[in-house]
Amino acid sequence: MFFIGIVAAALAVNWQNFLNYVGLVFIGVLIHNALALNLGYWSGRVCGLPEFDNRAVSIEVGIQNSGLGLVLVFNFFDGLGGMAILVAWWGIWHIIAGLAAAFIFSRRPLPADFQPATDRISF
């Protein structure tokens, strides 16, 4: 609810900037997030991580803290219009992209030799 409130405030204050730049912001955030999700996944593969960990790294790298970005924009940059709109859309898109990635990963079976983390760690 807090995040939705911040996004709504950013849009209300910067509505004209939103209308002027929504296409550019949409494409920029989409490309950035697609690259981040893929960079996370494929860097795990290159490093030889198990598939389960590749998926976790993909989500971790691809979904950044947009709420923190909005707080920084409003506290240190006086809610500068373009920055607020960019970070607001970034936050919304990360929810969509994170859910989509989780859905895709949940439909792809893990390798037969996968063991849950509790079986791999001994105390």
Q: Is residue 115 part of a domain?
A: no
In a domain, 9, yes or no: no
**Domain annotation covers residue 73:** yes
Structure tokens at 25: 């912001």
Structural domains of the chain, count: 1
Q: Is the pLDDT of residue 82 over 80?
A: no
In a domain, 1, yes or no: no
pLDDT, residue 68, reads 72
- One-character DSSP codes across 13-32: HTHHHHHHHHHHHHHHHHHH
Q: Could you tell me which residues come within 8 angstroms of residue 54 by beta carbon, excluding any fewer than 6 positions away?
A: 41, 44, 45
pLDDT one-digit tens code per residue, 10-43: 778 778 877 888 788 788 888 988 998 999 999 9
- Which residue in 64, 75, 36, 40 sits closest to 54, CA to CA? 40
In a domain, 72, yes or no: yes
The reply to whether 84 falls in a domain is yes
Helix (H, G, I), strand (E, B) or coil at 48: coil
pLDDT at 91: 79
Say what the pLDDT of residue 117 is: 56
Does the pLDDT of residue 46 top 90, yes or no? yes
In a domain, 45, yes or no: yes
pLDDT score of 118:
56
CA distance 78 to 13: 11
pLDDT band at 44 (very low <50, low <70, confident <90, very high): very high
What average pLDDT is seen over the chain? Answer: 80
**To 5 degrees, how large is the angle CA 108–CA 112–CA 113?**
125
pTM of the predicted protein model: 0.69
pLDDT at 81 over 80: no
Which residue would you say has higher pLDDT here, 67 or 102? 102
Instruction: Read off φ and ψ for residue 93, nearest 5 degrees.
Output: -65, -35
Give the mean model confidence (pLDDT) for residues 38-53. Answer: 92
Is position 8 within any domain? no
Residue 92 belongs to domain spanning: 21-109
